[in-house]
Amino acid sequence: MGTQTATRPPQPWTAPTASDPVAATLRLPGSKSMTARALVLSALASGPSTLAGPLRARDTELMAGGLRAMGAHVSIADDQRWLVRPHRLVGPAHVDVGLAGTVMRFLPPVAGLAEGRVTFDGDPQARVRPLGPLLGALRSLGVRIDSAGPGSLPLAVQGAGRVGGGEVVIDASASSQLVSGLLLAGARFDRGVVVRHEGPPVPSAPHLRMTVQMLRAAGAAVDDGTPDVWTVEPGPLSGRGWEIEPDLSGAVPFFAAALVTGGEVTLQGWPRSSMQPVEQLRSLLHRMGGEVTLGTEGLTVRGTGTVHGIDADLSDVSELTPVLTALAMLADSPSRFTGVGHIRGHETDRLTALAREFAALGADVTESPDGLEIRPRPLRGGTFRTYADHRMAHAAAVAGLAVPGVELDDVACTSKTMPEFPALWSGMVTGKS
């Protein structure tokens, strides 16, 4: 069982307040989503692969460790260039998922291809994250799985060295990762895989598009032309060089700082063509009072110092909800966010946590089944609990730019996706980035 989050002593941290508009040019770590997918595809490929500019953080190190435990050679000694050499996957092996949804949902299908028993467990909070639909789908494809509960950790996959594959029906309304996990391994199944979603809409559609794009880049034949149906044909995956983009979700709090302070933040190294939902982010930040441009320097966000409230369906970009909520707290008009009921099953119940913690700072916020309504009013300082959730910490840091005395109970939870966050954030606010 993973113990890092459970045993790590909390590190309280007072979010710095900005006295001037921020002006920063940053080079942020690579995309967690791209790094995770590239690792899985590389471990299942027919030849070696490299990852240039990957994210080194707890989630991605756990992904590398899980693949290594099953037999893949994964070298992450060089921060800027990871090497993956595929090898026969075998058990017995143990995979520590930590609190990473990608690890707990992407690696059980891979474990079905291993010869032997592969066990999975993680942090206590991981045991309540939705996993049942994936386990049911794998069982219907012939994978033997032993689990203590109806669909949660801990569990064991008794790999047979192959998976028959075929068509499977799944309700992926809780997470797009439930589909991505099946697709990423599907080309290695004997008959490939056809995943048919039945249920409420699948959230985070851009992440599914990223999965399909990266599968195709690795040589897989993928058909996603029918809504809610994805077909991956059986066949080899090619080893290749992956260029990992900067992490857009990780950049959002820094971009939010430009809006709050009327400053300017540039993210270096941004590609002209991105696999991440840049256009959705551009639209949302524009509506909230920012200007987003892509130039030779990188992706730049400028603010006026005034933040506007908006009414928005965030179902495609639910990872942005915590930071956008913090922005909405500082806006000149009310906001309403919908379409994000599924983030109740993320690292914590993010809707309840956001409502509770901002209310403790004096906010007027109402929780709905699938979102939040925010009516801005002056906030006060105080302790903001993060619930071991990196996105909650990001939200608190954004609020702290304008509200003195916001103290995070545990800033170290940001190591999940960006260990450098506290130093980068303080450097940006003080002008020493």
Regions in the chain scoring below 50 on pLDDT: 1-7
Amino acid at 336: R
- Beta carbons within 8 Å of 232's beta carbon, 6+ residues apart: 183, 186, 187, 192, 193, 194, 215, 220, 221, 222
Q: Would you list which residues are annotated within the binding site for phosphoenolpyruvate?
A: 32, 101, 129, 177, 350, 391, 416
Joined together, the tokens standing for residue 22 give 């921020």
Closest to 82 measured CA to CA, from 110, 42, 123: 42
What is the structure's pLDDT at 4? 40
Neighbours of 190 (CB within 10 A): 13
What is the structure's pLDDT at 348? 81
Length of the chain: 433
Are 367 and 351 contacting, i.e. CB atoms less than 8 angstroms apart?
Answer: yes
Q: Would you list which residues are annotated within the binding site?
A: 32-33, 37, 101, 129, 175-177, 204, 319, 346, 350, 391, 416
Neighbours of 390 (CB within 10 A): 26
Q: Which of 61, 245, 264, 319 is catalytic?
A: 319
Neighbours of 280 (CB within 10 A): 17
What is the structure's pLDDT at 167? 98
- Rounded CA gap, 140 and 121, in Å? 22
- Rounded CA gap, 335 and 354, in Å? 14
Model pTM? Answer: 0.89
Domains of the chain: 13-29+245-430 (3.65.10.10), 32-232 (3.65.10.10)
Neighbours of 125 (CB within 10 A): 17
What is the structure's pLDDT at 6? 42
Q: Would you list which residues are annotated within the binding site for 3-phosphoshikimate?
A: 32-33, 37, 175-177, 204, 319, 346
Could you tell me the sign of the dihedral formed by the alpha carbons of 267, 269, 274, 275, in that order?
negative
- Pairing outcome for strands 335-338 and 311-313: parallel
What is the structure's pLDDT at 89? 98
Amino acid at 70: M
Is 319 part of the annotated catalytic residue set? yes
What is the structure's pLDDT at 1? 37
What is the structure's pLDDT at 5? 39
